[in-house]
Amino acid sequence: MGYLDSKACGSLTIQLRQTRCFVLCKDSFVWRKRSFVAEPDLPGVGAVHNPFWCGPLGTDAWSNHHWHESAHAQSRRSPLMLRYRNLKAMACGYLWKAASSILCTALLLLLCFPAVAQDVLFPFADRSRYGFINADGDVVIPPGYGGGQMTSEGLTAVRFGGAWGFINGHDSVVVDFRYESVFPFSEGRARVENRGSWQFIDLHGQPISNKQYSNALGFSHGLAPVQGKPGTIAGLEPKWGYIAPDGEVAIKERFIRALPFSEGLAAVAVVKKVLIVSVSTRWGFIDKDGDWFIEPRFLSARGFSSGLALVRAKDAWGYIDTSGTFAFVPDYDQMFSFSEGLARVAKGGAWGFIDTTGAEVIRTAFEGADDFSEGLALVKSGGKWGYIDAEGRMAIPAQYEHARPFANGLAYVLLDGQPGYINASGAFVWRQSR
């Protein structure tokens, strides 16, 4: 960590994080060790003459690196040969400038911006302190945080000193610890909360706008549902709308409930009125322009998945297609949305799965179940948790006191009182020692 102040380079003070980050200073690149890789008085990145040359800040060893010849040497050449060589030098010079521009732009993207394609980190707790392992089970960040979440889009949420922030895979702080609650990044944006007010930040920790909300859900399909702050009229519930990634209003706030977009549509609720009297709440589906795609007529609704959405009409739950027509109304006590082509259902306390035709393809024989994730579903049998495949076969025996669905190739489990992470074969990649 270090600082370059205005006396050092004549620009804004910028905090440097690790050696992967450099700053632009009067159109120059400055490494963390305070050395230029471009001259400080050049008009821009594309004017770098020799990006591989590096000299210390304030050195007198700078030269313009232009290709030049002495007047004496030029005077001995013929005008035709001199013109040819000058044209050749000019052409090479322009080609080198173009190549330098591309190279420096690549360096800027590689070194200055947070990398999102890095390994996913998985949290674990040791004596109430959280550390992280990678997908191979190696401890890459030792326990030292008060809380932790799985990596999302290259950044990992951690709690330190009672507040949440984000770190990268090198345990360097990218988003300072200043939030009471945070959620994972989705489409380059994370929702964060302080004192009941929600807003979104980007991958650099910068708010996408100054506006704050009473509530917010994550970005999906380029839009995020948000609920405005309460107005001055007591008892008037603020409405929901949608914002774009830059924080601008995409669909104005006019719904009493709004869910994230899925498969191009979003489930929203409005109040049906007779004259000025509110009669009931009805759910429908809008497109990304905010227009009604399926008119609001349902008592409840969930988002589309596998081309079907779970809705309630009168006293019955069923699945509709994108035309708003019921595809089927199965006879179960509990039903959930589809995940990976299957939906979990329950009848008489027994859980199973149906396919998109409504057929029960995995019979209701389990004590509990969760959605399919990465080809496996968490099920409870004989008081223990295990995992089945899409054919209903027990892929990982039911032996865990506690377990979670698979995410990024691993699943958190508790076996004989010891927590750990298993892979899709059921083998432990990491297990906490006693």
In angstroms, the CA 254 to CA 251 distance is 8
Which DSSP category does 34 fall into?
A: S
In this prediction, residue 375 carries a pLDDT of 98
Write phi, then psi, for 9 (nearest 5 degrees).
Answer: -140, 0
| Each residue's pLDDT tens digit, 259-276 | 999 999 999 999 986 666
In this prediction, residue 275 carries a pLDDT of 61
Band the pLDDT of 51: cuts 50, 70, 90: very low
- The amino acid that residue 111 corresponds to is L
CA distances from 22 to 1, 46, 109, 111, 156 (A): 12, 17, 11, 7, 22
From 183, 179, 131, select the one nearest 155 (Cα to Cα).
183
**Number of CB atoms found within 10 A of residue 262's CB:** 17
Band the pLDDT of 314: cuts 50, 70, 90: confident
Task: Judge whether residue 4 has pLDDT over 60.
Answer: no
Rounded mean pLDDT, 108-130? 71
From 298, 295, 321, select the one nearest 308 (Cα to Cα).
321
Mean pLDDT of the chain: 80
From 77, 84, 162, 169, select the one nearest 122 (Cα to Cα).
169
Using alpha carbons only, give the angle 391, 393, 399 rounded to the nearest 5 degrees: 145
Residue 377: partners with Cβ closer than 8 Å, 6 or more residues away: 342, 344, 353, 369, 370, 371, 387, 388, 405
| Each residue's pLDDT tens digit, 277-295 | 566 899 999 999 999 999 9
What pTM does this model have?
0.72
Are 25 and 42 a contacting pair, CB within 8 Å? no
From 379, 223, 348, select the one nearest 290 (Cα to Cα).
223
In this prediction, residue 111 carries a pLDDT of 46
Are 35 and 50 a contacting pair, CB within 8 Å? no
In this prediction, residue 280 carries a pLDDT of 85
In this prediction, residue 119 carries a pLDDT of 87
Task: Judge whether residue 91 has pLDDT over 60.
Answer: no
Strand partners, 379: 369, 386
Strand partners, 91: none
From its phi and psi, is residue 130 left (phi > 0), alpha (psi between -120 and 50) or beta? beta
Helices then strands, counting H and E runs in the chain, come out as: 3, 40
Chain-centroid distance, C-alpha 285: 25
Task: Judge whether residue 130 has pLDDT over 60.
Answer: yes
- The amino acid that residue 205 corresponds to is G
Are 135 and 408 a contacting pair, CB within 8 Å? yes
Burial of residue 377 (CB within 10 Å: 0-12, 13-18, 19+) is buried
Residue 176: partners with Cβ closer than 8 Å, 6 or more residues away: 165, 205
Strand partners, 97: none
Burial of residue 261 (CB within 10 Å: 0-12, 13-18, 19+) is buried
Candidate ranges 65-69, 72-76, 350-354; pick with highest mean pLDDT: 350-354
**276 or 190, which is more confident?**
190
Task: Judge whether residue 416 has pLDDT over 50.
Answer: yes
**Number of CB atoms found within 10 A of residue 408's CB:** 14
Q: Tell the residue number behind the tokens 């080198």, with chain if given.
A: 96
In angstroms, the CA 65 to CA 209 distance is 44
| Each residue's pLDDT tens digit, 348-372 | 999 999 999 999 999 999 999 999 9
